[in-house]
Amino acid sequence: MHCSPALATQQDMANPAPPSSRDPSREDSILAAAAALFAERGYAATSIRDIGEKVGLLGGSLYHYIKSKDALFIRVHDDALRGAEEAIRSAIAPISDPARRLETACRVLIAIQLDPASLTLPLMNDFRAVPASVRAKLIERRDAFETLFTELVEATPLPVHIDRALYRILLLTTINSAGNWYRPGRLSLDEVTRQILAIYQVPEA
């Protein structure tokens, strides 16, 4: 039975192709295009049509690879956090001293947040623009990411009066917002990092 284009598109949206039938390079291109557009325009101002036009795919062809804009945003967000976590874990892996591990993790995360090519800051800034159902999934993934810092803070020697949960929240808030307030000039990236570590009493090597 022949399906109209509109009906075919709805079916594609509901049932994206199984991973085994997708072209990995094309899927990577779609993810890269979506990430760039979400970072540049934000979630609300980016449409599936925009993403399709950027990679030369329209209608059902694009939905062969993705389920929805929401699912795509979650995937891009998760990939960005996964990359950040992998970079941090790789950097701290050879270090045994707890204070140096936290220091190194902070340095890596600050560098990521201040990298003009980084996606983590623009995606974080778009947090309140996404639907509640999407936001819930983003929170779940961020909580998982922050478990790494929970472990690092717990292992680090700090003054006994410090509430470690509040310490972690404030430390990550400062680092994750660095791209909003840091401007090159008066202090170098390394100097800014040292100031943050000093303010939060993270012992340096």
Burial environment of residue 105 by CB neighbours within 10 A (0 to 12, 13 to 18, 19 or more) = buried
Instruction: Please enumerate in sequence order all residues whose Cβ is within 8 A of that of 170, keeping only pairs 6 or more positions apart, or say none.
Output: 200
pLDDT in tens, 125-157: 677 788 889 889 988 998 999 999 999 999 999
Residue 170 is predicted with a pLDDT of 95
Map residue 185 onto helix, strand or coil: coil
Average pLDDT, the chain: 82
The Cα 195–Cα 188 span in angstroms is 11
Neighbours of 4 (CB within 10 A): 8
What does the pLDDT average to over 117-129? 73
The Cα 122–Cα 39 span in angstroms is 5
From the CA atom positions of the chain, what is the Rg in Å?
20
pLDDT interval class at 205 (50, 70, 90): low
Q: Which domains does the chain have, with CATH numbers?
A: 5-67 (1.10.10.60), 74-199 (1.10.357.10)
Note the pTM of the prediction, 2 decimals: 0.77
What does the pLDDT average to over 75-89? 92
Neighbours of 111 (CB within 10 A): 16
Burial environment of residue 56 by CB neighbours within 10 A (0 to 12, 13 to 18, 19 or more) = exposed
